[in-house]
Amino acid sequence: SCWSRWWCCTAPTWPAAPPRVIRRVPAPHRGYGVRMAEFEAERRMPADAEQVFAIVGDLDRLGEWMPPPIGVRPTGDGEVHADVEPRGVHADGLVGVRPEQLRLEWGSEDSPDYAGWLQVEHAEPGHSSVVMHLSFLGDQPETRSHGDAPGQVRGWLDDALGRLERVVAGAS
């Protein structure tokens, strides 16, 4: 556009500054864009944030609150293996446990196609809130506008948080 050419030509430079090269990244052709889908769910918990995080931050307890189609088990320090039978997924991943932030973050070193995080938030005394977020990138069932995968993911998120609520209630 005219404005961007003007900005490139009139951007201030200092006498000793090296020449600036500004490149435009071409937009993908229509219909060939990268697909992405984000899913998020939140649930109020019947315990203080620190008590809830003690459960979610213990990777050995993941099986207590993950929904049945998703099997996640720790395999090493900050490493897990996930099996999602309905998708034929069998993958290793990394989990960052951040107690000072009451946060978990996960993904894979090998692929940016999937990542997620879980945040425990303070609420009124005796309660907290948990937000769980999943991101899918690329040509996956979860990023397609048709099919039942997006609905399944939303159901699995809700189920995981419901199970977590029951585990937390039983521990209080």
Q: Going by DSSP bridges, is the β-strand pair 128-137/103-107 parallel, antiparallel, or unpaired?
A: unpaired
Q: Which pLDDT band, with edges at 50, 70 and 90, does 75 fall under?
A: very high
Q: Which pLDDT band, with edges at 50, 70 and 90, does 103 fall under?
A: very high
* Of 156, 165, 167, the residue nearest 41 (C-alpha): 156
Cβ burial, residue 130 (10 Å; 0-12/13-18/19+): buried
Q: What is the pTM of this model?
A: 0.78
Greatest alpha-carbon pair distance for the chain in Å reads: 68
For the segment 39-54, what is each residue's pLDDT rounded down to a tens digit? 999 999 999 999 999 9
